[in-house]
């Protein structure tokens, strides 16, 4: 039996977290959720997801801090991270890429686009592993 793809969503907005996780589960992916940065880091170490969707603007530890921690950790550094953000300024987006973000998805999120982006990244990853 094939293992289901694990996706970790880290976002402090409960309604958004519920909507996105529900939509991703409909696709057949195993979805884990964390409501803040520290919980997201713990969960990332526990479940070793194939992809992380990470909110940029969270209280306490923001998305860039979480991204830095993930990319600094050799065990987590290879996991693709997509920043979820309403930010559209080029300088801010470049900062996320410099730290190690693989892509960014603007909020409000269009769910079909989210599916397409995640599916595309996963297919590229599986092609690389073959």
Asked if residue 7 lies in contact with residue 24, where contact means CB atoms within 8 angstroms, the answer is yes
Give the pLDDT score at 12: 95
Give the pLDDT score at 92: 81
pLDDT, average across residues 13-37: 94
Measure the CA–CA gap between 67 and 63, rounded to whole angstroms. Answer: 6
Give the pLDDT score at 44: 98
Domains contained in the chain, CATH given: 6-129 (3.40.50.2300)
Asked if residue 76 lies in contact with residue 32, where contact means CB atoms within 8 angstroms, the answer is no
* 101: Cβ contacts below 8 Å, ≥ 6 apart: 67, 81, 82, 83
Q: What is the pLDDT of residues 65-124, one digit of tens each?
A: 999 999 999 999 999 999 998 877 778 889 999 999 998 888 888 888 888 888 887 787
Coil vs helix vs strand at 39? helix
Closest C-alpha among 87, 112, 115, 111 to residue 101: 87
Confidence class of residue 127 from pLDDT cuts 50, 70 and 90?
low
Give the pLDDT score at 128: 57
Q: What is the pLDDT of residues 39-65, one digit of tens each?
A: 999 999 999 999 999 999 998 899 999
CA distances from 97 to 11, 29, 31, 82, 104 (A): 19, 26, 24, 10, 9
- Dihedral sign, Cα of residue 20, residue 22, residue 23, residue 28: positive
* 77: Cβ contacts below 8 Å, ≥ 6 apart: 70, 71, 100
On the question of pLDDT at 126 being above 90, the answer is: no
């Amino acid at each position: 039996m094939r293992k289901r793809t694990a996706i970790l969503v880290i976002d402090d907005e409960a309604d958004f977290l519920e909507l996105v996780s529900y939509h991703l589960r409909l696709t057949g992916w195993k979805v884990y959720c964390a409501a803040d940065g520290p919980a997201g880091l713990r969960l990332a170490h526990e479940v070793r997801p194939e992809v992380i969707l990470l909110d940029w603007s969270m209280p306490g530890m923001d998305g860039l801090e979480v991204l830095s921690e993930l990319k600094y950790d050799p065990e987590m550094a290879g996991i693709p991270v997509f920043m979820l953000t309403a930010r559209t300024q080029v300088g801010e987006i470049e900062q996320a890429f410099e730290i190690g973000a693989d892509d960014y998805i603007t909020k409000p999120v269009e769910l079909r686009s989210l599916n397409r982006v995640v599916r595309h990244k996963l297919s590229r990853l599986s092609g690389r592993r073959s």
